[in-house]
Amino acid sequence: MPPGHAPSAEFPTRLSVADARTRVLALCAERRHASERVALENALGRVLAADLVAACDQPPFANAAMDGYALRGEELPREGERRFRVAAQMFAGAPADVAFGRGECVRITTGAPLPRGADTVVIKENVRVDGDVVVVAAGEHAGANVRPAGEDIRAGEQALRSGDTLTPARLGVLAACGHAHARVARRPRVALFVTGDELVPPEQALGYGQIHDSNRYSLGGMLRTLGIEPEPVGHLRDDPDALRAALLDAARRCDVVISSGGVSAGEADYMPRLVAELGHVHFWKVRMKPGMPILCGGIDGALVFALPGNPVSTLATFQLFVRPALLALQGSNEADAAPRKARLAVPLAKRHERAEYLRAHLEWRDDGGSWATPLEKQGSGMLRGIADADVLVALPEGAREFEAGAVVDILPLPGLG
């Protein structure tokens, strides 16, 4: 048997993209990570591990939405004007309520508690001040410019869901509900290495037949967009003994092992055989372009993703399979999120059966729609093409024609937002 070929073990091969993603997510559901408690200052981007149920109303009391004058709405004039004596003033953070009677009002600032008996705030720009009296004209509405207690969140209501990624706004919700810490999923420990005798570091001069290693930096950057700092194994030559040792060591230390290169069917493509020998191959090869040779396996409890070495194939398979896996291990609600949609800005003719992922530029037009224009450079080794792209346009299996304006699925690339 040629040294680079996988053994004749039984494992799924040439899966559809949907089937491969379903298998990856199912594997991750079995390996969900434990939670840990972290301070809110360190929780940005983490995945919430428990529902947040509000213990009290938010806001906890009725308050002024604008600077102005608090009064009883039933006393507003229906025509002409009415004079109200300013009986007191209330500032945000006021320690006590104030009293006011009929025909009176209270000067109030934004966020201050509404005085007992008041249900309306007339903004200061809409009154005329005459000494300790304000004059209010007809046209104001009872209940205006007031934030009722519980307007945002009611006590006992679910404010955040387990699986939510903690954005800046969600950190604010936690803090508003009185939490200085959050219960979040532990981030996966990830080992990353690249393979290939042809690779040399970026700072090294190229010899004949050599290329600079770019995948280590692209993949490392993709991981960091998820808040994961990889444990770098580095660059490994196409040597089965060195690869075997690296795989075993990485699988013992980490939850996920990601490699790039050596996963096809050439004489120096050792990864399929080694993963099958050391553990289990869940699937090898997916009906997609670029990225068909991707392998998903397991060694010593760690998930292994052996990605193709061509730069575009590497990034496409990471986005389609590795990124959802890393999110699913944390219980993220985004792991299997529905794809976004856009319209094709130009017609396309797809001549092959595999699903295809085209690098494209996305623009938002005046009609409010998003339109995708595939870039000229689509080769799997053309890293510049994906550097210029905003999204991957997903074309389903089967040869077919796509008219300009056809709705297609898109996968945003890191940095698009």
In sequence order, the β-bridge partners of residue 195 are 236
Task: Report how far residue 137's alpha carbon sits from residue 120's, in angstroms, rounded to the nearest whole number.
Answer: 14
Q: Answer yes or no: is 162 within a domain.
A: yes
Q: Is the peptide bond before 290 cis (omega within 30 degrees of 0)?
A: yes
CB proximity list for 410: less than 8 A, separation 6 or greater: 339, 340, 341, 342, 360, 362, 370, 372, 391, 392, 393, 394
CA distances in angstroms from 261 to 35, 266, 280, 317, 379, listed in the order given:
33, 11, 19, 12, 17
Q: φ, ψ for residue 87 (rounded to 5)?
A: -90, -25
Mean pLDDT of 139-163: 97
Q: Report the domain count for the chain.
A: 4
- Domain residues for the domain of 353 are 340-412
- In this structure, what token pair is assigned to residue 75? 């006393």
Q: Tell me how many degrees the CA angle 285-272-245 measures, rounded to the nearest 5.
A: 145
For the chain, the farthest-separated pair of C-alpha atoms sits apart, in whole angstroms, at 99
Evaluate if residue 57 carries a pLDDT over 60: yes
29 and 92 together in one domain: no
Q: What is the pLDDT of residues 360-393, one digit of tens each?
A: 999 999 888 999 999 987 876 677 767 889 999 9
Q: Answer yes or no: is 85 within a domain.
A: yes
CB proximity list for 229: less than 8 A, separation 6 or greater: 223
Considering only 5-19, 67-81, 250-264, which range has the smallest mean pLDDT? 5-19
Q: Answer yes or no: is 4 within a domain.
A: no
Q: What is the pLDDT of residues 13-55, one digit of tens each?
A: 999 999 999 999 999 999 999 999 999 999 999 999 999 999 9
Q: What is the pLDDT of residues 219-275, one digit of tens each?
A: 999 999 999 999 988 899 999 999 999 999 999 999 999 999 999 887 878 999 999
Instruction: Provide the pLDDT for residue 381.
Output: 65
281 and 212 together in one domain: yes
Instruction: Provide the pLDDT for residue 97.
Output: 85
